[in-house]
Chains A and B, each alone.
Chain A
Amino acid sequence: AQRVTQPEKLLSVFKGAPVELKCNYSYSGSPELFWYVQYSRQRLQLLLRHISRESIKGFTADLNKGETSFHLKKPFAQEEDSAMYYCALRATGANNLFFGTGTRLTVIP
């Protein structure tokens, strides 16, 4: 069975500081991993997917299969990064997304 763990419910950092949102997963196969973000009063939207290996809004995430982790990182946090972040996993060949419990990031000016 798939499981996604986000150990931090709340995370506060100062503007300009590095930020790391943790995500660990359990899945026996090769997962598809995503980060979704929900800004205040907006709908959930895709931020990153592991297959793309891209940087979006300064965020990156690397899949570490040995540690079964997909942590989200940004070197210099901005106030507009304050939001709810969800890590999500989809099993190979499946349609359903399994979400972690989310981390609310607050960037302090």
Chain B
Amino acid sequence: NAGVTQTPKFQVLKTGQSMTLQCAQDMNHEYMSWYRQDPGMGLRLIHYSVGAGITDQGEVPNGYNVSRSTTEDFPLRLLSAAPSQTSVYFCASTRQGRNTEAFFGQGTRLTVV
């Protein structure tokens, strides 16, 4: 049972480069989200999706783009990487309903130099 799988685990980018962080889940969850984790700031929501074809912005969406063409996949694109985007990124998926558990990927540690 794979759960939520993120790739890559580590990435170093140069300022201005673009890249896509991959996220896939095999639990048929409707809701998927991306967070960034920064010291002293906890987890902040970047973008989320309530189903295929539907995405919306979270707290800190600037500089990121998402799409949801299938239930399983929810990639996060960095359009033009900046040092301020150095962070650990987590993808999560949740079944719709009350008090449901969010399942997280193992994280992607991104450094922008």
Contacts and interface: CB of A to CB of B under 8 A. Distances in A.
Interface of A: 6, 9, 32, 34, 36, 42-46, 49, 51-52, 86, 90, 95-102
A86 B38 CA distance: 13
B94 A95 contact: yes
5 contacts: A34-B101, A97-B92, A98-B45, A99-B42, A101-B40
A86 B42 contact: yes
Contacts of B94: 95
Contact of B99 (A42, A49, A100): A49
A49 B106 contact: no
A46 B94 CA distance: 12
A6 B98 CA distance: 23
B96 A95 contact: yes
Given A95-B31, A95-B94, A96-B48, A46 B40 contact: no
Interface string B77-113: 0000000000000101010101101101111000000
Interface of B: 31, 33, 35, 40-45, 48, 50, 58, 90, 92, 94, 96, 98-99, 101-102, 104-107
A32 B99 contact: yes
A51 B40 contact: no
Given A49-B99, A51-B99, A96-B45, A43 B40 contact: no
A43 B48 contact: no
Q: Which of A44, A49, A100 has the most CB of B within 10 A?
A: A44
Sort A-B residue pairs by CB-CB distance and give the 4 closest, nearest first. A101-B42, A99-B43, A44-B104, A51-B99
A46 B42 contact: no
B42 A32 contact: no
A96 B106 CA distance: 19
Contacts of B44: 99
Given A51-B99, A101-B40, A95 B50 contact: yes
Nearest to A33: B99
Nearest to B49: A95
